[in-house]
């Protein structure tokens, strides 16, 4: 790695990128992958065939550019989200990371700043850096929660131009109350900031957790971002999207690359949205396994964070690296997210969850009751 950085240092790289590391999670060939919050159930056979058919129909026209406005996709996304949204309220890109990048390109940049509240999604500072936006790490608390008054104060005092609120939060799984979003939006008015509520895991939330989509009306600076990578089991398709006031999408048209969504991507996403009921059929099973993990970890004397996502962050580990390695040797890959004494595990199938819990129990010398 040092040799790689030495070679890199000889290039005329931007000063603010020197010494930084790219995003990356271990990609290892093990039987059970529970490290990057994928939907381990995969795409059902009937939906898979529908996607293949849809893509096949596009192949004959690949000599032509795709629909630059991805009109059908925006209509399907609006129909899926509901809440009175229309195609004008929707924007999409190659994964929610590109959606966030578009937002920073349009509303961040040199001389501007963005604030987030660690521990949170590790791409926020990387995306900020790549767009020349100064990143301000806010402060949460030891219970991985964020209070409305405290968050609003920090946003107001920061004067940030872009605010990241992740709910359910990655890597903690904790959801924000709508009071936090409302308070932050109000506090960001002085800087005329864009407030982004990143709801990548919203489909896995508990029934009493309310989406920030309900707050969009009348708030032109509020954005809710989503993805088809998680609940839709389409991480490989790279399709993220957002809902907002129409003028936000108009701003993003100024920074997007021409024809940024391929005809293949649009076809696959449209087919998936047409079969959303089948694709989302496993969400309740995943939530059941998530709650099972939380209860079992508590029984093992560990401290899992409350989760509204398809993963669980848990602490109380004296040797998290040793546990991570022991699980890997047992054929289970989970994630070390860099929080001392903690690890994170994706909720998989019932079988995968059982193997994880049994392997962890053996490493701890305890038994799951």
Pairing of the two strands 240-244 and 311-315: unpaired
Do residue 344 and residue 203 come from a single domain? no
Please indicate, yes or no, if residue 165 is contained in any of the structural domains.
Answer: yes
**Dist. CA 261–CA 181, nearest whole Å:** 30
**Dist. CA 322–CA 206, nearest whole Å:** 32
Predicted confidence (pLDDT) at residue 21 exceeds the cutoff of 90:
no
Region 339-364 average pLDDT: 97
Do residue 119 and residue 257 come from a single domain? yes
Do residue 141 and residue 232 come from a single domain? yes
H helix intervals, the chain: 2-9, 45-59, 71-81, 96-107, 123-130, 148-158, 178-187, 246-252, 263-274, 276-279, 283-299, 320-329, 350-364
Please indicate, yes or no, if residue 369 is contained in any of the structural domains.
Answer: no
Predicted confidence (pLDDT) at residue 61 exceeds the cutoff of 90:
yes
Report the pLDDT value the prediction gives residue 369, as an integer from 0 to 100.
60
**Dist. CA 169–CA 172, nearest whole Å:** 6
- Counting Cα atoms < 13 Å in the Cβ hemisphere of 128 gives 21
Please indicate, yes or no, if residue 49 is contained in any of the structural domains.
Answer: no
Torsion sign (Cα): 121, 125, 128, 129: negative
What domain range is 225 assigned to? 54-276
DSSP 222: E
- Say if residues 244 and 89 touch (Cβ distance below 8 Å): yes
Do residue 271 and residue 290 come from a single domain? no
Do residue 77 and residue 225 come from a single domain? yes
Report the pLDDT value the prediction gives residue 294, as an integer from 0 to 100.
98
Please indicate, yes or no, if residue 300 is contained in any of the structural domains.
Answer: yes
pLDDT category at 1 given cuts 50, 70, 90 is: low
Please indicate, yes or no, if residue 200 is contained in any of the structural domains.
Answer: yes
Average pLDDT, whole number, for the chain?
A: 95
Please indicate, yes or no, if residue 181 is contained in any of the structural domains.
Answer: yes
Do residue 215 and residue 105 come from a single domain? yes
Do residue 193 and residue 73 come from a single domain? yes
**Dist. CA 195–CA 218, nearest whole Å:** 13
Q: What angle do CA 285, 50, 89 make, to 5 degrees?
A: 75
For residue range 124-180, list pLDDT tens digits in order: 999 999 999 999 999 987 778 899 999 999 999 999 999 999 999 999 999 999 999
**Dist. CA 280–CA 285, nearest whole Å:** 10
Region 194-216 average pLDDT: 98
What contacts 20, CB < 8 A, 6 or more positions away?
Answer: 126, 129
Do residue 301 and residue 256 come from a single domain? no
Which of the listed residues 227, 247, 276 is the one where a domain comes to its end? Answer: 276
Do residue 245 and residue 328 come from a single domain? no
Q: Which of 1-10, 93-102, 276-285 has the lowest mean pLDDT?
A: 1-10
pTM as predicted: 0.95
Do residue 59 and residue 125 come from a single domain? yes
- List the one residue out of 32, 118, 120, 25 whose CA is nearest residue 347: 32
Report the pLDDT value the prediction gives residue 260, as an integer from 0 to 100.
98
What contacts 137, CB < 8 A, 6 or more positions away?
Answer: 115, 116, 117, 118, 125
Do residue 185 and residue 216 come from a single domain? yes
Q: Which helix (H) or strand (E) holds 113?
A: strand 113-116
Do residue 343 and residue 200 come from a single domain? no
Predicted confidence (pLDDT) at residue 81 exceeds the cutoff of 80:
yes
Predicted confidence (pLDDT) at residue 8 exceeds the cutoff of 90:
no
Which of the listed residues 276, 309, 330 is the one where a domain comes to its end? Answer: 276
DSSP string, 166-178: ESS-TTT-PPPPH
> In CATH, what number is assigned to the domain containing residue 113?
3.40.640.10
Cα 57 to its chain centre, rounded Å, is 31
> In CATH, what number is assigned to the domain containing residue 337?
3.90.1150.10
**Dist. CA 278–CA 280, nearest whole Å:** 6
- Say if residues 188 and 163 touch (Cβ distance below 8 Å): yes
- Say if residues 210 and 175 touch (Cβ distance below 8 Å): no
Which of the listed residues 254, 276, 298 is the one where a domain comes to its end? Answer: 276
What contacts 48, CB < 8 A, 6 or more positions away?
Answer: none
The number of domains in the chain is: 2
C-alpha to C-alpha distances, 153 to 69, 129, 131, 133, nearest whole angstrom: 38, 24, 26, 21
Query: What are the residues facing 335 on neighbouring strands?
Result: 344
For residue 235, give the 3-state DSSP assignment: helix
DSSP 244: E
**Dist. CA 67–CA 60, nearest whole Å:** 15
Please indicate, yes or no, if residue 268 is contained in any of the structural domains.
Answer: yes
C-alpha to C-alpha distances, 339 to 120, 171, 297, 312, nearest whole angstrom: 11, 9, 17, 13
Angle between helices 263-274 and 71-81 (to 10 degrees): 30
Residues above pLDDT 90, as percent of the chain: 90
**Dist. CA 35–CA 84, nearest whole Å:** 36
Q: Which of 3-7, 12-16, 257-261 has the lowest mean pLDDT?
A: 3-7
Region 316-321 average pLDDT: 96
Residues above pLDDT 70, as percent of the chain: 99
């Amino acid at each position: 790695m040092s040799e790689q950085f030495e070679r890199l240092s000889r290039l005329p790289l931007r000063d603010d990128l020197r010494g930084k590391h790219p995003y990356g999670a271990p990609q290892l060939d093990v039987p059970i992958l529970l490290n990057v919050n994928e939907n381990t159930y995969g795409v059902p056979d009937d939906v898979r065939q529908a996607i293949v058919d849809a893509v096949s129909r596009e192949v004959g026209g690949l000599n032509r550019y795709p629909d630059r406005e991805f009109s059908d996709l925006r209509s399907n996304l609006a129909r899926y989200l509901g809440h009175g949204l229309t195609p004008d309220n929707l924007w999409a890109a190659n994964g929610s990371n590109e959606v966030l990048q578009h937002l920073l390109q349009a509303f961040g940049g040199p001389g501007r700043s963005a604030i987030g509240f660690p521990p949170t999604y590790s791409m926020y500072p990387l995306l900020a850096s790549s767009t020349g936006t100064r990143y301000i790490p806010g402060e949460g608390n030891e219970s991985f929660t964020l209070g409305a008054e405290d968050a609003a104060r920090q946003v107001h005092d920061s004067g940030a131009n872009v605010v990241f609120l992740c709910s359910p939060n990655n890597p903690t799984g904790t959801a924000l109350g709508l009071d936090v979003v409302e308070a932050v939006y109000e506090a960001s008015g002085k800087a005329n900031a864009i407030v982004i509520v990143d709801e990548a895991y919203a489909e896995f939330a508990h029934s009493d957790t309310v989406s920030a989509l309900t707050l969009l009306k009348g708030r032109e600076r509020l954005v809710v971002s989503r993805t088809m990578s998680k609940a839709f089991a389409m991480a490989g398709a790279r399709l993220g999207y957002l809902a907002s006031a129409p003028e936000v999408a108009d701003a993003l048209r100024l920074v997007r690359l021409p024809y940024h969504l391929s005809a293949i991507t649009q076809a696959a996403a449209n087919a998936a949205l047409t079969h959303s009921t089948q694709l989302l059929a496993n969400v309740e099973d995943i939530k059941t396994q998530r709650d099972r993990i939380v209860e079992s970890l508590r029984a093992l004397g560990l401290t899992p964070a409350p989760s509204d996502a398809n993963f669980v962050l848990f602490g109380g580990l004296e040797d998290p690296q040793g546990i991570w390695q022991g699980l890997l040797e047992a054929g289970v890959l989970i994630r070390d997210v860099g929080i001392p004494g903690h690890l994170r595990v994706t909720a998989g199938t019932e079988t995968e969850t059982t193997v994880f819990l049994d392997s962890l129990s053996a490493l701890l010398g305890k038994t799951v009751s």
